[in-house]
Amino acid sequence: MSTPSFGFRVTSVDGQARSGVLTTRKGEVLTPTFMPVGTQASVKTLTPAEVAATGAQIVLGNTYHLWLRPGPEVVAGQGGLSAFMRWPHTVLTDSGGFQAFSLAERRTISDDGFVFRSHLDGSKRQLTPEEAMRVQSLLGSDIAMQLDVCPPGTAERKDVEAAVLQTTRWAKRTLAARDPLQAVFGIIQGGVHIDLRRRHAAELGELPFDGLALGGFSVGEPPEQMHAALPEVVPYLDPVRPRYLMGVGTPRDLLIAVLAGVDMFDCVLPTRNARNGQAITRRGPLSIKQAQYREDRRPIDEDCGCPCCQIGYSRSYLRHLFIAREILVLRLLTQHNLWVYGDLLRRVREAIASRKLGVFAREWLEPG
């Protein structure tokens, strides 16, 4: 935990929840924070300036996809991901472990790592902990993730135990191969088994990672199981280091996780759902393609401060654009959804600072 230019400090505490400041070589990130997903060096449909305008201070890039296309050497030759995509703020890259889970039919696993068949051309690729570190170093992200084994939510306990053991072995190899200028986070596995999660948190907590992440949630298990597990697991993560819940989720998921002590989040949900015509609101999702909005003059949410709602684009107009397959609606809905996430966590930070998070969370989760 001695990476130059990387640091984390807690500024306020309310119960298990905390707000803080994450420092990287690109500047400061206020936590709790949400990271929009820029899978292929782009948050789909938006410019970097538009992403930043939603309140985002950090984005996530996908190691697997950038490894295949355009290749990490191309990105390195243009100054790293931040310069390549013109995002001057902090960048975190995942390790490719989740793609091993999601593309299971294309890969095999051994003690050494994963062997993939590229989804682009079928070529054979081997992803080891060392290769994951090499690729992320070339991508030049500020925060890199270790290669891990992510079992599905329905996996048997013996398979989850094997994933934990393999992830620990790979954690040590990851640290031996790390770029000394790059912060590196370890990934805690264990499924919904509290004892496995706590044990793995202790094991990785003894290693010199800059932060600790919870992987293997929201991978097929009922959301209620994750919600029940988080308060039993998160407090066992080292409080000095940032805590990152990977691939989660809905606004409700975020609030429950913050109450348990999580600092960082990423998820494709707000951007992917936007491209499928769904706007996220405090009162729940709104599917703009429904016929009931054909003549609806209201904005998505009259209380929302995003450009889409403030300009006053009507639900009727947005529905028309979506039915007509106009690209503008995808941009507007993406801006709206990311603004909702950014504004939610801004309000969460304020509520923690004033020690009113419990009241705020109840009002949000049960809006009346």
Q: What's the residue count for the chain? A: 368
Q: What's the domain count of the chain?
A: 2
Q: Is residue 30 part of a domain?
A: yes
Provide the 8-state DSSP code for 297: -
Q: Judge if 102 and 235 occupy the same domain.
A: yes
Q: Judge if 217 and 95 occupy the same domain.
A: yes
CA 59 vs CA 34, 148, 222, 340: distances in Å: 8, 20, 27, 16
Q: Which residues are catalytic?
A: 94, 266
Q: Is residue 290 part of a domain?
A: yes
* β-strands 27-31, 17-24 pairing: antiparallel
Q: What is the dihedral of CA 334, 336, 340, 342, to 10 degrees?
A: 70
Among candidate residues 220, 245, 267, the one where a domain is terminated: 267
Q: Judge if 65 and 159 occupy the same domain.
A: yes
Among candidate residues 249, 267, 285, the one where a domain is terminated: 267
Per-10-residue mean pLDDT, the chain, length 368: 87 98 97 97 98 98 96 98 98 87 76 88 91 98 97 95 98 98 98 98 98 96 97 98 97 97 98 98 95 98 96 98 98 98 98 97 80
Which pLDDT score is estimated for 144? Answer: 98
Q: Judge if 92 and 149 occupy the same domain.
A: yes
Which pLDDT score is estimated for 4? Answer: 86
Q: Judge if 72 and 98 occupy the same domain.
A: yes
Q: Among all chains, which residue has been given the structure tokens 């959804």?
A: 337
CA 149 vs CA 116, 127, 203, 246: distances in Å: 14, 12, 16, 13
Q: Is residue 237 part of a domain?
A: yes
Phi and psi torsions of 37, nearest 5°? -95, 120
Q: Judge if 286 and 249 occupy the same domain.
A: no
Among candidate residues 239, 267, 295, the one where a domain is terminated: 267
What b/e string do you get for 249-268 counting C-beta neighbours within 10 Å, with b at 16 or more?
Answer: bbbebbbbbbbbbbbbbbbe
Q: Judge if 246 and 330 occupy the same domain.
A: no
Which pLDDT score is estimated for 59? Answer: 98
* Domain containing residue 162: CATH number: 3.20.20.105
Q: Judge if 138 and 69 occupy the same domain.
A: yes
Q: Judge if 210 and 145 occupy the same domain.
A: yes
Residue 152 is encoded by which pair of tokens? 């599905």
CA 244 vs CA 140, 264, 331: distances in Å: 20, 4, 27
Which pLDDT score is estimated for 123? Answer: 86
- Owning domain of residue 98: 7-267
Name the burial class of residue 87, with classes exposed (0-12), middle (13-18) and buried (19+) by CB atoms within 10 angstroms of its CB.
buried
pTM > 0.95: yes or no: yes
Q: Judge if 17 and 72 occupy the same domain.
A: yes
Q: Is residue 263 part of a domain?
A: yes
Q: Judge if 333 and 190 occupy the same domain.
A: no
Which pLDDT score is estimated for 99? Answer: 77
